[in-house]
Amino acid sequence: MINNKNNTSETLISVIVPANNEEKFIASCLTNLINQDFNKDNYEIIVIDNASTDNTANVTKKFKVNLIYEAKKGYNFALIRGFLEAKGEIVAITDADTEAPFDWLSKIYKAFGKNPKFVMVCGRSIIRPKTFLSCISEFFINLGGGIIMKISPSYNLAIRREVYFSIGGINKNLELNLDTDLCLRAKGKGKTVFLWNNPVTTSSRHYKGIDGIKYCFKGIINLISLKTTKKTFFRKMVDIRG
């Protein structure tokens, strides 16, 4: 059971934000994170500047967060570095193009405190702006994650740090569906909970044109492969920022 120590200066939650060339989005992301209704002394925000070549670092420096540079480019390597830097007993992940509600961390913390067997807390996805493909993807992400599997994408995911390391952490050989892989392995350590009332809003930039169709197709194939063989067929993500 997580002790309720919100009146102390102990770091209870670490929030990891991987960022590669995210100067257009990261300010909105961090504004929401630093204005959480959770006690400011009880959580830290770690931005992993993943070999950015734009002004991501300069924008991030305007906020009171921990900025860490990771030269090895890749979403997987950014997350691995983030977990190594994290001090909290709970580690929450979100993306730089994602906006969390102001009670996001409070709901995550409360969910973990309800049951010591909960190893992971997941949440609903809202994908904006709307495209035909994003609407379909949002429906199936929430249906599959919330009802069938109790998992969610890494932009709305929290896990106990000790559980993360006990299962070997992020698979460094994966980028695409590394969150699904992590979730499925974590489920072997205990129960997971999906919070329908704790959605984040994320960008639909993955769900546009031919690349969007390819992205969804690869994700579906990987999900089936992970469930049946515990391996993925596709490993790399498309660099949507060029």
Smallest Cα–Cα separation from 121: which of 102, 105, 137, 99?
105
Sheet with 98-99, side-by-side order of all strands = 66-70, 43-50, 13-19, 90-93, 157-160, 118-128, 191-203, 98-99
For residue 118, the surrounding DSSP H or E stretch is strand 118-128
Q: Establish whether the linkage from the previous residue to 129 is cis, with ω within 30° of 0.
A: yes
Q: In angstroms, how far is the first alpha carbon of the chain from the final one?
A: 44
- How much is the pLDDT for 3? 46
Q: Could you tell me the domains of the chain?
A: 13-229 (3.90.550.10)
The residues with which 48 forms a beta bridge, in sequence order, are 18, 68
Residue by residue, what is the 3-state secondary structure of 168-235?
CCCCCCCCCCHHHHHHHHHHHHCEEEEEEEEEEEEECCCCCHHHHHHHHHHHHHHHHHHHHHCCCCCC
- How much is the pLDDT for 6? 46
Smallest Cα–Cα separation from 94: which of 167, 208, 179, 2?
179
Mind listing the pLDDT tens digit of every residue in the chain (242 residues)?
454 444 466 999 999 999 999 999 999 999 999 999 999 999 999 999 999 999 999 999 999 999 999 999 999 999 999 999 999 999 999 999 999 999 999 999 999 999 999 999 999 999 999 999 999 899 989 998 899 889 999 999 999 999 999 999 999 988 778 898 999 999 999 999 999 999 999 999 888 888 877 766 666 675 666 667 666 665 565 454 43
Amino acid at 189: K
